[in-house]
Amino acid sequence: MKAMILAAGRGERMRPLTDHTPKPLLKAAGKTLIAYNIENLAAAGYTEIVINIAHLGEQIKAYCGDGARWQVSIAYSDEGETALETAGGIAKALPLLGAEPFLVINADIVCDFPLASLHDRQIDMAHLVMIKNPPHHPAGDFCLNANGLLSAQGDNPLTFSGIGVYHPELFKDIPVAPLKLRPVLNRAIQQQQIRGEEYNGLWMDIGTPARLETLTDLINSR
């Protein structure tokens, strides 16, 4: 299974740190955010990785190169200066991802979820890793039913972790244009084509300078 790292976002909430450095190259405890994710993917057996880039993307290409230092192969989906959002970015990267299901992970999360468990995941259109709602997202995103299906409404909403396995068919009619992932997921959820699982281990969305500092403190404390 191939993997994709979403690294094209501008990181507005991280400014001024991201004015001259792309968010995935910000460091926590001396290591870039994207390096943590590449290391985790490599350790889990994902050797073919696609990274989408936009704002200051040449810096990411220069840093990651062809992936050889992590013993993986990296290809790039360049969206130009304006990012295509998640769904548009995945749609553009489809020629690099192939005809089989693929893993997608946000470049700005840190998580100890066992990615290897998703290698041979049998899916309809998608399988999403869900977490309990963090303080900065108390309303959650979707609900997880007892049978593993996701629904838009329910009593115990969970938050999408930014880790998911997708079938390329989910994006076959998506234009290569700016489009968020939520409406694409909503359509498939209505057709009962998306499953998920809840994970209760370490997960952090490094969306602000304060959370970057928190991650650094956590890593140093270990």
pLDDT-derived band at 112, boundaries 50, 70, 90: very high
Angle (nearest 5°) at CA 86 between 84 and 88: 45
Q: What is the C-alpha to C-alpha distance for residues 202 and 135, in angstroms, rounded to an integer?
A: 15
Q: For the whole model, what pTM was predicted?
A: 0.95
Q: What is the C-alpha to C-alpha distance for residues 53 and 24, in angstroms, rounded to an integer?
A: 10
Convert the pLDDT of each residue in 10-33 to its tens digit: 878 888 888 899 999 999 999 999
Close Cβ partners of 55 (under 8 Å, ≥ 6 residues apart): 8, 9, 10, 11, 18, 22, 81, 83
Q: What is the C-alpha to C-alpha distance for residues 96 and 43, in angstroms, rounded to an integer?
A: 22
Q: What is the C-alpha to C-alpha distance for residues 201 and 186, in angstroms, rounded to an integer?
A: 26
Mind listing the domains of the chain with CATH numbers?
3-221 (3.90.550.10)
Which pLDDT score is estimated for 91?
A: 97
Which range is least confidently modeled, 16-20, 68-72, 84-88, 199-203? 16-20
